[in-house]
Amino acid sequence: MNRLSRLLSVALLPVIVACSDDSDNNRQDPVEPPLPPVEETSPAQLRVTHASPDAPAVNVYVNGEVALEGVEYKQSSGLIEVEEPGTIEVEVRGILPDGSETTVIGPVDLTLEEGIRTDVVAYDSLFDETGDLNIKAKVLDPVEIEADITDVRVSVLHAAPQVGDVDIYVTSPEDEIGSGSPIDAGFGDAAGPVAIEPATDYRIRITPDGDSTVVYDSGTVNFPAGTELLLVAVENTLKVGNNPVNLLAVDAEGAGEVLDADTGAEVRVVHNSADTPPVDVLVDDAVVLDAVPFPAASAYDDLQAPAGMYNVVVAADADNSIAPIDADLTLEAGKSYTVIAIGSLADNTIEPLLRDDGRRNVATAAQVEVIHGSYLVAAAIPVDIYLTADGVIADADPAIAGLVYKESTGQVALSPGEYWVTVTAAGDKSVVAFDSGGPLALEGGVNYTIIARDPSPEEVEGDPLIRVSILTD
């Protein structure tokens, strides 16, 4: 039994009442009255889903105790059986970068009924335009639990705050969009369950209300007979493609995102080789980026392509036959990548560093990824990175320790605020490779990529040893 089930379960203690006769002459053994028949009860079912596009991971408390920990955006608890239904107190707390919590929903009372499935979905943006708490909890209409269903049943919830009223069509893959009746949904509205004739393969399309323009198309998806799904329309936080929404398919086990069928990948290119002149970027022999100078970076939407394998060449702008990078890269649907050209042209060490970027913005955090791309100090020193209020590191511990050349910290959540950045040789505070010279403001809801690099020929070499490029998203 999982933790939530234990918290929601209440033991029942039977009470047996016996009768006796105290007469000396007619004393008889006590006769116990027959017990009433035991009624079999069906457990309730509870499912909690995180669908707030910019909220952090959350902990879910039931009756004051942690029931679910670290539930991330687009995750679901799956169906949890509650043996003894009743009223419970539910509170949702967001996890802040420093590990502390802040209440974002509740506490609220929730009544679970025998033989009934209850879905609770956290949705909407965390804050509104004025900075006030805005996230909401949607309790869907209760659904009777049925043991054996032979059709496919679909419930929907419109949870994409940036999208207006929509029509949702669930059809066979080949059917025209007008062949079936849509499920109408405004933001925050839920509908269903709707029984659909089992056909195994389906196609889900979303249009603006009363409009035939398709803004989301799942392509062919498979739902076997007996499937019960909650389809949640969520904001496209992947930021890949033109579709404003994707679908979150929530079943008995958890949740998975169903991307638009045309979702491809996108690539941002960073020129991080200080001794290399401007370069062209060729994909499958076609120039897609022209004359990228050091230390410039392209935009994500400068290079978009369907998922698949591509030959990527970084070549000299003056002569494309000089190609220090020639590599085959596999791009996955829905992913955003950064390709960093690092190394030295003179030393023939230029190579691509491929990063899989997470682009969802979290309102309560500045999400920072630091990449060591400085070739000049690569062989000599890994680096420690200090984040302080005033640049004084004498008594400070590094926020990031021992970062080596070509290594990344991954995305680190920091509390929004001002940070003085100091980079030293690993384990030696006396060797300062970089000093920001003042605090850098890091904002909540922004993703930062900080790349350590060598100075350009126009910059003063050795003062400091390295420079940084800061990219935002």
With tokens 């116990």, the residue in question is 32
**Could you tell me the pLDDT band of residue 25, with boundaries at 50, 70 and 90?**
very low
The predicted model gives 365-375 an average pLDDT of: 96
Averaged pLDDT of the chain: 89
From 4-13, 339-348, 349-358, the region with the lowest mean pLDDT: 4-13
Give dist(CA 86, CA 111) in Å, integer: 6
pLDDT on residue 19: 33
The domains found in the chain, sorted by start residue, are: 1-145 (no CATH), 147-262 (2.60.40), 264-356 (2.60.40.1120), 358-473 (2.60.40)
Q: What is the DSSP string of 418-446?
A: EEEEEEEETTEEEEEEEEEEEEEEE-TTE
From 17-26, 221-230, 393-402, the region with the lowest mean pLDDT: 17-26
pLDDT on residue 212: 87
pLDDT on residue 445: 97
pLDDT on residue 10: 37
453: burial class by Cβ within 10 Å (0-12, 13-18, 19+)?
buried
pLDDT on residue 181: 83
**Could you tell me the pLDDT band of residue 178, with boundaries at 50, 70 and 90?**
confident
The predicted model gives 275-298 an average pLDDT of: 95
DSSP three-state, residue 300: helix
Strand 58-62 with 65-71, pairing: antiparallel
User: pTM of the entire structure?
Assistant: 0.87
Cα-based torsion angle of the residue sequence 361, 332, 227, 251 in order, rounded to the nearest 10 degrees: -30
pLDDT on residue 456: 86
pLDDT on residue 281: 96
pLDDT on residue 461: 62
The predicted model gives 377-401 an average pLDDT of: 91
pLDDT on residue 27: 46
Amino acid at 16: I
- Record the tokens describing residue 394, joined without a space: 């004498």
Percent of the chain with pLDDT over 90: 78
pLDDT on residue 200: 83
Residue 55 has pLDDT above 70, yes or no: yes
pLDDT on residue 284: 96
Residue 344 carries which DSSP code? -
Residue 18 has pLDDT above 70, yes or no: no
- CA angle, 358 as apex, 337 and 365 as ends, to 5°? 145
